[in-house]
Amino acid sequence: MGNVTLKNIAEILGISITTVSKALKDYPDVNKETRDSVRLLAEKLDYKPNPLAINLRNKESKTLGVIIPRVDHNFYSTVVNGIITEAEDRGYLVIILFSGDSSSLEEDQVKLLLEKRVDGVLMSMATETEEIGHIKELIKKKIPLVLFDKTTEEISCSKVRIDDKKASFKAVEYLIETGCKNIVHFRGPLPPQAYTDRFLGYKEALEKHNITYDPSNVYVCDELTFNEGYEFTKKALEEHPETDAIFAMTDLVALGSLAYCQANGIRVPDQISIMGFSNWFMSQNSTPKLSTVHQPIKELGKEAISILIEEIQQRKNEFPVKHFTAQLPTEVIARGTTR
Amino acid sequence: MGNVTLKNIAEILGISITTVSKALKDYPDVNKETRDSVRLLAEKLDYKPNPLAINLRNKESKTLGVIIPRVDHNFYSTVVNGIITEAEDRGYLVIILFSGDSSSLEEDQVKLLLEKRVDGVLMSMATETEEIGHIKELIKKKIPLVLFDKTTEEISCSKVRIDDKKASFKAVEYLIETGCKNIVHFRGPLPPQAYTDRFLGYKEALEKHNITYDPSNVYVCDELTFNEGYEFTKKALEEHPETDAIFAMTDLVALGSLAYCQANGIRVPDQISIMGFSNWFMSQNSTPKLSTVHQPIKELGKEAISILIEEIQQRKNEFPVKHFTAQLPTEVIARGTTR
């Protein structure tokens, strides 16, 4: 048989549903004999209280909503790994929705989560999102919200992200300290802010070390692919033959640079140093291995869930809720493509 | 204010909750005046019916449970992409849980989904799962279940998978037809069945073309890494200098083989042909590009959701439920590492 209900038990015993319900909850106005027979039958039939009904009473669904642009990308699949792992440990289920990087789909997904009465929402904004009315709606309804990765200053809530500017600053400083002076940067598109922050870190490191910033040394990758890394390296070395280092937005772009150098007899790192970003597992599978910046991506997901659950607890206990921004630290990993 | 309830509306208007509820549902025993004032206030306060309560009445949660071993792996993140995309299109939410490839955690996750009363379950079994009592429990409770990727003959339910044996057969046949005779195979561990099926396809192709099968030509990768591909290629070429082709379990292992050949001046494909498996996006980012077998991974996720929703509908309408196994077709993609 399917799921056993209170009604099933009541019918079998020939008593009312209310009596069954009271018996299971140990109410004193049900006599011991009835109570025992209800409990025995409930056990035999493997009766389980309907959790939807329980949730309705508790007003907690123990379910969190997560909206991300996509998952077929190493960054998001790693974040999701951290999110689900941490939520599972804390007794929460996770409903994952995609915005497909579309602002209007993101709006629909927020509405859906509101209807489903999730206890809290975790969100990495779609790249194109500029209208933020739907996110403000969450705040207005007092649904705990934490933004991660792609965030905005315009929303007052807790945020978790990588300190991209500092990470990038340290990477470029490492290149300078190991003797590079003519450093080209392959940046990502704008928005999101993170890509601009990495560019700003690059610029700041040059300035700190008295190297003149030359805008023509910066190339914009639209899709951050291996091929863009390959082609821009060709272009950069033609336009700037004095180049002695390449700092790429992501490891995949950096691997494209490395492939171009290898195919054209350019020695890495003797002639050109190459630095990636993110410490993707493939960065260890090249020869030489790729130097890069380690981002604690899984930890980012865990931290975001932690902060969200804390906020849910605070609201439940009517404690004042404090928002804060966590910036997770990064680390330069020097391998074989830098001096 | 938070979420508006029927009680809020009742208190403001000084009428009973039942009357508010009836008014919103257009019951004839509520007079027009009361009905209008309830509706006006509900609209003003942006009242939304509690979906948990609605679900309780409909006995449908419009939520599907998915249990997968992990998501930080290209195969699963691509499958999950297909699953969520298709479920969203069909109006279902998806709760994703990890088994971490542990049989006992898998058991806990099944229990959790049972408690949450999901409408159906989609599952790729943990590699180590041999006791299947928890999966049979789902069948007993008449919860629609579809197994995908890692499945077992011992459970009677619908299944969706790649035809691994045939895929592998076609890949090895391609190598033979392009002139290779001494083909080494880097296989994966057993279980799961899929890895054994790929090995069987390799063996069958040799036999069909009258090439004697030599067990010492088969190397077992424990973790299917780039390094295993690199090291086993070294070993295989030492032990079998006559080798003219390598067929690897996954693209990552094949990329390791390619890297070994390139580092040691072995010409690919002139001296050695290399064939991968899965058509991972990185297989297009090597020089030469990797020949491989395309697996329709995203389609696998979509197909699994389709079958699951169909079964949910059949049960709901009390139609007889038919189980079937869908084997999705694959394709050999010949690129630069084969002749």
Structural domain boundaries of chain B? 6-49, 63-162+298-329, 164-295
B288 and B124 in contact (C-beta within 8 Å)?
Answer: no
- Mean of the pLDDT values across residues A3-26? 82
Tokens 């140990």 map to which residue?
Answer: A26
Q: Does the pLDDT of residue B14 top 90, yes or no?
A: no
Q: Do B93 and A97 touch (CB under 8 A)?
A: yes
Among the ranges given (A61-65, B239-243, B298-302, B316-320), the one the predictor scored with the smallest mean pLDDT? B316-320
Q: Does the pLDDT of residue A54 top 90, yes or no?
A: no
Q: What are phi and psi of B328, to 5 degrees?
A: -80, 140
- Mean of the pLDDT values across residues B273-294? 95
When CB atoms are compared, the residue of B94, B98, B112 closest to A85 is: B98
Decide the pairing of beta strands B292-294 and A245-248. Answer: unpaired
Q: Do B285 and A259 touch (CB under 8 A)?
A: yes
- Please, what is the end-to-end C-alpha distance for chain B in angstroms? 69
Q: Do A97 and B88 touch (CB under 8 A)?
A: yes
Q: What residues have CB less than 8 Å from A19, skipping those under 6 apart?
A: A10, A30, A34, A38
Q: Do A84 and B63 touch (CB under 8 A)?
A: no
Same CATH topology for A63-162+298-329 and A164-295: the answer is yes
The two three-digit tokens of residue A178, written as one number:
């190991």
Q: Does the pLDDT of residue A56 top 70, yes or no?
A: no
Tell me which chain A residues have a C-beta less than 8 angstroms from the C-beta of B95: 63, 93-95
CA distance B217 to chain A (A): 25
The two three-digit tokens of residue A31, written as one number:
């006599």
For residue B266, give the 3-state DSSP assignment: coil
**pLDDT score recorded for residue A147:** 95
pTM exceeding 0.80: no
A164-295 under CATH 3.40.50.2300, yes or no: yes
CA distance B196 to chain A (A): 26
A144 and A87 in contact (C-beta within 8 Å)?
Answer: no
Q: Does the pLDDT of residue A103 top 90, yes or no?
A: no
Report for A82-91, A232-241, B15-24, B98-107: range of highest mean pLDDT: A232-241
Separation between Cα atoms, residue A331 and residue A333, nearest integer Å: 6
Q: Does the pLDDT of residue A57 top 50, yes or no?
A: no
pLDDT confidence bin for B311, thresholds 50/70/90:
very high
Separation between Cα atoms, residue B2 and residue B83, nearest integer Å: 33
Residue B65 vs residues A10, B47, B98, B154: alpha-carbon distances, Å: 30, 29, 11, 21
Give chain A's length. Answer: 339
- Which of A:207-246 have CB within 8 Å of B? 226-227
Tokens 């990727």 map to which residue?
Answer: B149
Longest CA–CA span in chain B (Å) reads 93
CB atoms within 10 A of CB B322: 9
* A169-224 residue pLDDT tens: 999 999 999 999 999 999 998 777 788 999 999 999 999 999 999 999 999 999 99
* B207-251 residue pLDDT tens: 999 999 999 999 999 999 999 999 999 999 999 999 999 999 999
**Angle between helical axes of B251-263 and B226-239 (0-180°, round to 10):** 60
Q: For an interface test with A, give the residue of B96, B121, B289 to mutate (most A CBs within 10 A).
A: B96
- Mean of the pLDDT values across residues B120-144? 88
When CB atoms are compared, the residue of A71, A116, A286 closest to B80 is: A71
* B33-88 residue pLDDT tens: 888 888 888 888 888 776 555 444 457 888 999 999 988 788 898 999 999 999 98
Name the helix (H) or strand (E) containing B106: helix B103-115
Look at domain A63-162+298-329 and name its CATH class. Answer: alpha beta
